[in-house]
Amino acid sequence: MNFSKLAAYALAAAFCWSGAAVAQTKVSVGVTGSATDVGLWVADKKGFFREEGVEVTFTTFDSAARMISLLGTNELDVGAGGHSAGLFNAVGRGIDIRIVADKSQNVTGRGSQKLLVRQALIDSGRYKSFADLKGMKIAGSAPGSAASTVILKFLEKGGVNPDDITNVYMSFPQMGIAMQNGAVDAALPAEPAVSSALRLGGIVSVGNDYDVYPVHQISEILYAGKFATSKPEVARKFMRAYLRGVRAHNDALGPDGAFLGEKGDEIVSILTEYGAFKDPKVWRSFIFSACGPDGTLHVPSMKEDLAIWRQQGLIEVPIEVEKALDTSFVEWALKDLGPYVKK
C-alpha cells in the first residue's frame, strides 16, 4: 500500500472517530437542573454523546417524581433524578422503568441538601434545635421523593412526629423565595438552590443531609423500558458517554471536592452554560455530592427509603428494590472503560 492511500485511510478513520460521520439517534432526557446533572451536561458539551451517535435533548422538571409518567409511557427515554414511591409503585404495577446507574450520593462531607430555617425564627428563639421543627411549615420537592426521607430523618433526630409539621411542596429554586416571604418556615433544597437561597439573606443552614443520613443514594439515571429494550445498543452507548462525563467532572475535583485548575474552570463553565445559575461563583460556592464515576448504586439506602415509604402507606403494591434495578448497561460500559482512575 502506498503512503497516499495509507494517509487517506488514516484521515477517514480520524473523521469517523470525531463523530462527524456517525449517524445520530435522538434521545430525550429529563433533568432537574440540580448540580448533579453535571455528568450529563459535561458529556453533551464535550461531545461524548455525539461520538456515540447520540443526540440528546434535555427537558427540565421541578422534581424527578414528575418524570415517572412520561418514562412509563415511553414519551421520555431517560430520566435523571431521585427514586421515589411513585417509581416503585409504577414498577410494582408492571410498568417498565429501570434504575440503571448512580447519579449522586450524599456521603459525609459531600452532600447536596441542607436544612434551611428562616433567620427570624432563630432570632426570636422559636428555633433552637431540630425539636423546634414541630409545628412548622417545611418545604420539600414532592411527597414520596428521595429528599422526603431526609426531612423525616431530621424530624426523627429532633423527636418530632411527622404529623406535627405541615408539608409544602415546590421546586428547589422556589424554596428560598418562599422562606423570604414567610410562606414556609424551613426547607430542604438541593444545590445550587441551597446557595442561591442563602444569598437572598434572612435564611440560615442548620444541618446537612449527611448529618442525619450519612450515606444516601439520592438520585439515579432511569431508563424507559422501550428505550432499554428496543434500542439496547443506543442505551449502552448513552451509558458509556454519561460515565465519561461523570469521570471528567471527578477529574476536575481536588481531595476536598472543590474544583481545581484548568479542568475545574472547564467544568464550571459548562455548569454555568447549562444550569439555571449564570454566575460561576455560585457553582464554586459549595461542595458537590458524590457523583460515582463507575455508576455504582448504594442499594441499602434505597431499601431504607422504600421501607420508610411502605410504613407511611405510600407503597401501594408488593415491590422490592431489586425489581427496579438493571445494572447491565453500566456493566457493559465498564467492560470498555474499566474502573475509574483519576487523571
Tens-digit pLDDT profile for residues 150-163 = 999 999 999 999 99
Q: Where are the domains of the chain?
A: 24-107+216-282+289-337, 114-213
The answer to whether residue 4 scores a pLDDT higher than 50 is: no
- Range 246-258 average pLDDT: 95
CA 125/CA 129 separation, integer angstroms:
10
Position with higher pLDDT, 215 vs 7: 215
pLDDT band at 5 (very low <50, low <70, confident <90, very high): very low
- Range 20-27 average pLDDT: 78
In one-letter notation, the amino acid at residue 321 is V
- Range 9-37 average pLDDT: 70
In one-letter notation, the amino acid at residue 130 is F
Q: What pLDDT is recorded for position 22?
A: 63
CA 116/CA 137 separation, integer angstroms:
12
The answer to whether the beta carbons of residues 227 and 27 sit under 8 Å apart is yes
Query: Which residues does 173 contact at the CB level (< 8 Å), separation at least 6?
Result: 33, 189, 193, 196, 276
Alpha helices (runs of H) in the chain, residue ranges in sequence order: 3-17, 38-45, 48-51, 68-72, 85-92, 119-123, 146-157, 172-180, 193-200, 209-212, 225-230, 232-251, 261-274, 280-283, 299-312, 328-337
* 168-181 confidence digits (pLDDT tens): 999 888 999 999 99
Q: What pLDDT is recorded for position 276?
A: 86
The answer to whether the beta carbons of residues 101 and 174 sit under 8 Å apart is no
pLDDT band at 106 (very low <50, low <70, confident <90, very high): very high
- Which neighbouring-strand residues pair with 253? 259
Q: What pLDDT is recorded for position 247?
A: 98
In one-letter notation, the amino acid at residue 86 is G
Q: How many CB atoms lie within 10 A of CB 216?
A: 28
pLDDT band at 270 (very low <50, low <70, confident <90, very high): very high
User: Rounded to an integer, what is the distance from CA 136 to the centroid of its chain?
Assistant: 27
Q: What pLDDT is recorded for position 21?
A: 54
Q: Which of 220, 248, 222, 217 shows the shortest CA–CA distance to 235?
A: 222
On average, the pLDDT of the chain sits at 92
Q: Which CATH superfamily includes the segment(s) 24-107+216-282+289-337?
A: Periplasmic binding protein-like II (3.40.190.10)
Share of the chain above pLDDT 90, in %: 83
* 314-323 confidence digits (pLDDT tens): 999 999 999 9
**Any idea what the Cα angle at residue 73 is, between residues 309 and 148, rounded to 5°?**
20
Q: What pLDDT is recorded for position 66?
A: 83
User: Rounded to an integer, what is the distance from CA 94 to the centroid of its chain?
Assistant: 25
Q: Which fold has domain 114-213?
A: D-Maltodextrin-Binding Protein; domain 2 (3.40.190)
Share of the chain above pLDDT 70, in %: 94
Distant-in-sequence contacts of 334-343, Cβ < 8 A, 24+ apart: 334/243, 334/294, 334/295, 336/240, 337/240, 337/243, 337/244, 337/247, 339/294, 340/247, 340/250, 340/293, 340/294, 342/250, 342/251, 343/251
Q: What pLDDT is recorded for position 335?
A: 97
Asked if the domains 24-107+216-282+289-337 and 114-213 are classified in one and the same CATH topology, the answer is: yes
pLDDT band at 11 (very low <50, low <70, confident <90, very high): very low
Q: What pLDDT is recorded for position 63?
A: 76
CA 153/CA 210 separation, integer angstroms:
10
* 271-288 confidence digits (pLDDT tens): 999 998 899 998 999 999
Q: Which of 216, 221, 214, 213 shows the shortest CA–CA distance to 324?
A: 221
- Range 102-109 average pLDDT: 94
**Any idea what the Cα angle at residue 167 is, between residues 161 and 172, rounded to 5°?**
130
Query: Whole-prediction pTM value?
Result: 0.88
* 44-82 confidence digits (pLDDT tens): 999 999 999 999 999 998 778 789 999 999 999 999 988
Rg value, the chain, Cα: 21
Q: What pLDDT is recorded for position 8?
A: 45
Q: What pLDDT is recorded for position 112?
A: 87
Q: Which three cell numbers stand for residue 197?
A: 437561597
Indicate the SS3 state at residue 259. strand
